[in-house]
Amino acid sequence: MAILSFENLRNKSSTENKPIYVIAQEEEAELSETDIDVVRLKVLEDLTAMRAAIKNGLKSTEKAISGWSGDDCAKLKKRYRNSEALFGKVFEKITAFALATAEENLRMGRIVACPTAGSCGIVPAVIVAVAEERNIPESKLIDALLTAGEIGLVVSNKVRLAGAVAGCQAECGVASAMAAGALVEMLGGNTDEILQSSALAMKNILGLTCDPVCGLVEVPCIKRNAFLAVHAVTAAELALCGVESKIPIDEVVDVLKRTGELMSPLLKETSLGGLAKTKTAQELEKVLFKKD
């Protein structure tokens, strides 16, 4: 039976004494009519692809066709070679990995949409960076990805995860909620702490518009991956010390949906409003499309 709300998920976890990742892998095994081991192998394939995207993105400075993007990760790496980040090595890796993955996407490299291509750097950056620094075993990373996937799945039962439907809150915002939940799982948190972290991440990004300059998934999309990856870590840290969202996560998702419905169509991936219609953006559009 499909889990349609986070309340359903919390109750199932409590009643059956199962963590979210176990529920997720059982649900997926049933839906795909396969074994749990096969499900976990598929998740491992996704994890491997995430690592490859990070690796490829870190070593490339190839620009996008627009010429605007593709070397920001290299700039960040250079800074970290000369000056340690204020927040330390984990912060360095998270920000660099998020940019590397998002830039690999614009080069048409292989990435994992989690939940979308435009938000592809957030979940991998958090999971892979923390795993490297904390020496977390691969099996726990599979658990974390299953947890992230279940969070994204439950949100998608109420709202389509697309900037054209509900703005970037439904892409980078939901990705941040997924990453926060995954991180709490990796660090030994329980079901309530996972859901609290996701609620905190999601409610604090409500209203984020989708306003790509010239309709390209570059500006401001790439940099949002780095920002929202760090946002996820903040949510996880808060949840792990007992900070709760006063608004339950299902209600936060309801608000995300309503906010998307209230949002002007000009601010939902049409490139007809927001940053996409600033003076500079319009000048870039003239150059890129050779408009008079």
CA-CA distance, 214 to 287, in Å (whole number)? 11
Using the structure block, give the residue that is written with the tokens 């359903």. Answer: 8
The answer as to whether 1 is a domain residue is no
pTM, two decimals, is 0.97
Output helix, strand, coil percentages for the chain, rounded to the nearest 5.
Answer: 70, 0, 30
HSE of 131, CA atoms in CB hemisphere, 13 A = 24
Residue 7 backbone phi and psi in degrees, to 5: -65, -45
Q: What is the pLDDT, as a whole number, of residue 290?
A: 84
Question: 220: closest CA among 274, 256, 288?
Answer: 274
Domain count of the fold of the chain: 1
Sign of the CA dihedral with 79 first, then 127, 257, and 201 last: negative
Burial 83-115 (b: 16+ CB within 10 A, else e): eebeeeebbbbbbbbbbbbbbbbbbeeebbebb
The answer as to whether 45 is a domain residue is yes
Q: What is the pLDDT, as a whole number, of residue 202?
A: 98
CA-CA distance, 204 to 102, in Å (whole number)? 22
Sequence-distant (≥ 6) Cβ neighbours of residue 236 within 8 angstroms: 180, 181, 183, 184, 187, 189, 197
The answer as to whether 167 is a domain residue is yes
The answer as to whether 85 is a domain residue is yes
Sequence-distant (≥ 6) Cβ neighbours of residue 249 within 8 angstroms: 6, 195, 196, 198, 199, 202
CB atoms inside a 10 Å sphere around CB 75? 11
On the 0-12 / 13-18 / 19+ scale of CB atoms within 10 A, 5 is middle
| Residue 148 structure tokens | 């992230």
In tens digits, the chain (292 residues) has pLDDT values of: 679 999 999 999 999 999 999 999 999 999 999 999 999 999 999 999 999 999 999 999 999 989 999 999 999 999 999 999 999 999 999 999 999 999 999 999 999 999 999 999 999 999 999 999 999 999 999 999 999 999 999 999 999 999 999 999 999 999 999 999 999 999 999 999 999 999 999 999 999 999 999 999 999 999 999 999 999 999 999 999 999 999 999 999 999 999 999 999 999 999 999 999 999 999 999 999 887 5
Q: What is the pLDDT, as a whole number, of residue 65?
A: 87
CATH number at residue 141: 1.10.4100
How is residue 268 annotated by DSSP? B
CA torsion 236→197→275→213, rounded to 10°?
80
The whole domain housing 262 covers 6-289
CA-CA distance, 35 to 45, in Å (whole number)? 16
Using the structure block, give the residue that is written with the tokens 């360095």. Answer: 92
CB atoms inside a 10 Å sphere around CB 283? 10
